[in-house]
A and B are shown apart, each in its own frame.
Chain A
Amino acid sequence: MSADEPIIGIDLGTTFSLVAYADERGPHVLRDENGDARVPSVLAVLPGTPGAPPTLTIGWPARDHAVENVKTTVYSVKRLIGKGLADLEAELPFLNYTVAGGPRDTVQIDIDGRRYSPEEISSAILRKLRERAEQQLGGPVRKAVITVPAYFDDAQRQATRTAGEAAGLEVLRIVNEPTAATLAYGIGAKIADQPENNTGGISLPIPTCPTASSDASTADHTQTVVVYDLGGGTFDVSVLRIENGVFQVLSTAGDTRLGGDDFDRTLITLVTREVQEQFDVGITAPATRQALRTLAEAIKIRLSEQNSAQIELSLGDDRVYRRTITRADYEELTSPLVERTLELCTRALRDADLGSNDIQQVILVGGSTRMPLVRQRVEQYFGRPPYTALNPDEVVALGAAIQASILAGQQPDMLLLDVTPLSLGIETMGGAMGKLILRNTTIPCRATEMFTTFVDGQTAIKLNVLQGERELARDCRPLGEFELRGIPPMPAGMPKVEVEFLLDANGILNVSAVEQRSGTQASIQIVPSHGLTKDEVARITRESVEHAQEDIAAHRRIDLVNQVEFDIHKTQQMLAKVGAELNADERARIERDIVVLRELAQREQNLDRLQEALTAFGHSTLRLAELGIRGALADQTDKNATEER
């Protein structure tokens, strides 16, 4: 790997995304001109105005105009990635854009009649981050580490990698968010660029990069930490052991649909119900719904700092809903969500075979951990104040950059050992889930299983590969149908096909199969349940969302050129018919204008300028057009008169 080819670290979040890079000064997030590292994970098609085409925007402009462009603003797409329509029943009522079923069990987002996969939307956000990195690092960026929630399944991980590839990034590693955060804390002493904590003294009493202390006795340097990561859309808890630069995840648990969005939704549901009770109307207007979504988020943030907040929502026709909400009210609404996170903490501790007293540090990650109720309940649960020295919005991106520098060979003593969050298995006879790899097994890991045929001469075997903890296959998540092909024809039961299931360091499954009697490598055809096929991936990589912008422009160009030709043709017809009524100068000017406009239509790349020229041509031929219309009406009258006679 070339040392001068940078590898960036990306936190692709539900609400915000960030990009970071580690150089000799240490890892640092890349900020915009206002000093903000966050790029809202929002994409919008802003409507065109006369003279300006619709435009695709990503980030702050898209987020800031969400209320005006309700149907064409796409947010929280991370909650859709790797999912099917049936998975999203509870989700859809809170999304103001249109989600439709895609091929197999996937979903697509409909923006003005054009359909996008969640991967395409994510790739547009990743491209934006890549551009920022290229500007600030001053050169091309083609390699990245991208973080995902630890509890993401195979489909969600693969979809994230696909999004990266469609954005022109080779995704060298998919890293779990809580693990990345621990890396950032683990070398906290080296972290540069922390405006919130620019003291230089931010280091956990965790063994740091052990280059300085590799001779010290090993046992003293071991620490067990819990990472509590509550983001915009997902919750993860991971238990890690840190020892001499090795960050080993012992267990992880989580919920990929439990985050800040769900806290907002408790308020949205409350207001919707009260508006119904007080005014006997539902909140149906898209703009009002979007305004309420923005309001709910703002109230949540305000209640983290103050004890009460005012809600005011205009319902049209001079009707205004008003209410005061106290922090206590809000905490009562959201406390079930917090309790759910603590249940998952219990599960993670149990899987790690540890009690809360065995934990030396609790690290808070994710913007949603700013809520006082979260901090308070986590402190009670673990019996110690949580550690929050780093900005919870930025710590995951910093960790991704550190993992990137590990992959670049710049951190010779650091190593990350992660686990798979979900058990992996296959459907056995009778519809049971036969587990091959248990959850919380260190990755990479592998399992092998023997298969044979049921019919003489059978050359293919189908397998239903699953992820999940439940006993029945139908309660687990199908990864897709795997078909082993190319088994040499033999009597039934004779072939011995050994299938190897290998989970790589990204937590992504690789399958290979060998028929052992003949030594034949079987080929494997995979039809993913909740993801894209190879062809679909190739297509979206070719036609990125940015091309949609070009499409919009190309369409407009075709329309404009056609309009130019049409108008010129009409003008020439009228010149032939009624041109004699104009004086010679006027005729000559129009002839000249036609040549100029036609030439402009051929070469002008700025469509706005072409539009202006076309409008001007319309004005300059106005008199001719009037004469033409009058002439046509006269013809008509003559004709009628003739017929009457």
Chain B
Amino acid sequence: MNSPLVCDSCRTLHSAEDLDHFRMLGLEPTYNVNVADVRQRYLQLSREVHPDRHAVQTGESLKASARLNEAYRVVRDDVLRAEYLLELHGGVASTEDKTVAQDVLAATLMLHEEIAEAHAADDTGALTTLRQQVEERQSTTVAQIAELARQLPGDEDLRKQLRAALNAMKYYRKLAAEI
């Protein structure tokens, strides 16, 4: 497999400090990935770089392995992958732009209150309904994120829209945790 992490012929580890998560897995940085393929790449590379395989190169393999695990965690996940691509394409981080659409904010506040009420009343039926509502919103938002992330780098407006969708996802995750 082509990964700059490991030398194909001599099996030694290369320093991969400047590699992005996609290139580490031997992929181009694009949103569309085949998750099963990503996993196979990850497992095969793990066999090469994991510290268990390197009695000698322990320090290097520890770092390479940590970076590979992080790359796999991000690239396989639909939301983290979009977030990471946005960063690669010069979009701003969530700490700098916390904007969400007005309707998302309103819906979140309402759901937050309803969840608190359902908890107070110990109403499991209501909680189940609320969970379904939050999950629906999450899947709609993930679809939206995917749609936008496929068009990256795009223009600044697209990157702002993607930022807002990713921020909305954070709100919904918090709600899900509350339930």
Contact = CB atoms under 8 A, between A and B. Distances in A.
Contacts of B65: 444, 505
Contacts of A442: 69, 72-73
Interface in A394-422: 403, 406-407, 409, 413, 415-417
Contacts of A441: 69, 73
B52 A504 contact: no
A171 B149 CA distance: 46
Contact of B50 (A1, A244, A415, A502): A415
Contact of B62 (A218, A409, A444): A444
A406 B52 contact: yes
Given A243-B43, A246-B43, A444-B66, A505 B50 contact: yes
B66 A446 contact: yes
A502 B66 contact: yes
Interface in A597-613: none
Nearest to A415: B47
Nearest to B39: A243
Contact of B69 (A219, A406, A415, A445): A445
For B36, B66, B70, B73, which residue has the most chain A Cβ atoms within 10 angstroms? B66
B57 interface: no
A5 to B, nearest CB: 11
A157 interface: no
Interface string B63-75: 1011101101100
Nearest to B70: A445
Contacts of A173: 52
A443 interface: yes
Contact of A445 (B46, B50, B51, B66): B66
B52 A444 contact: no
B51 A504 contact: yes
Interface string A165-193: 00000000100000000000000000000
A443 B72 CA distance: 12
Interface string B34-58: 0010001001001100111101000
Contacts of A505: 50-52, 62, 65
Contacts of A406: 52
B46 A246 contact: yes
- Main secondary structure, interface of B, reads helix
Interface residues of B, number: 19
Contacts of A1: 55
B71 to A, nearest CB: 11
B46 A415 contact: yes
Q: Interface residues of A toward B: which range?
A: 20 to 34
A417 B62 CA distance: 13
A162 B52 CA distance: 20
Given A173-B52, A409-B55, A505-B50, A446 B70 contact: yes
A409 B52 CA distance: 8
Contacts of A446: 63, 66-67, 70
A595 B172 CA distance: 93
A235 to B, nearest CB: 25
A218 B40 contact: yes
A446 B47 CA distance: 19
A279 to B, nearest CB: 45
B56 to A, nearest CB: 8
A347 to B, nearest CB: 14
A48 to B, nearest CB: 46
Contacts of A403: 52
Nearest to B49: A444
B172 to A, nearest CB: 16
Given A218-B40, A406-B52, A417 B46 contact: yes
B55 A502 contact: no
A246 B43 CA distance: 7
Contacts of B53: 409, 415
Nearest to B67: A446
Contact of A417 (B50, B67, B70): B50
Contacts of B55: 1, 407, 409
Interface in A1-42: 1
A219 B69 CA distance: 21
Interface in A420-454: 441-446
A444 B51 contact: yes
Given A1-B55, A246-B43, A502-B62, A443 B69 contact: yes
A258 B97 CA distance: 46
Nearest to A419: B69
A408 B153 CA distance: 47
Contacts of B69: 441-445
Contact of B52 (A244, A407, A413): A407
A2 B154 CA distance: 56
Given A246-B43, A406-B52, A415-B46, A504 B62 contact: yes
A218 B46 CA distance: 16
Given A173-B52, A406-B52, A246 B66 contact: no
A403 B55 CA distance: 13
B62 A416 contact: no
A244 B70 contact: no
B52 A416 contact: yes
Contacts of B51: 444, 504-505
Contact of B47 (A246, A407, A409, A444): A246
A502 B73 CA distance: 16
Nearest to A409: B55
Interface in A223-276: 243-244, 246, 248
A416 B43 CA distance: 10
Contacts of B67: 446
A403 B51 CA distance: 12
B86 to A, nearest CB: 20
- Interface centre among B50, B52, B55, by most A CB within 10 Å? B52
Interface string A497-541: 000001111000000000000000000000000000000000000
17 contacts: A173-B52, A246-B46, A409-B53, A415-B43, A415-B46, A417-B50, A441-B69, A443-B69, A444-B63, A444-B69, A445-B66, A445-B70, A446-B66, A446-B70, A502-B62, A504-B51, A505-B62
Which 4 pairs, one residue from A and one from B, show the smallest C-beta to C-beta distance? Answer: A444-B66, A446-B66, A442-B69, A444-B65
Given A413-B47, A444-B69, A503-B66, 15 more contacts: A1-B55, A218-B40, A243-B43, A246-B47, A248-B43, A403-B52, A406-B52, A409-B55, A415-B47, A415-B53, A442-B72, A444-B51, A444-B62, A505-B62, A505-B65
Interface of A: 1, 173, 218-219, 243-244, 246, 248, 403, 406-407, 409, 413, 415-417, 441-446, 502-505
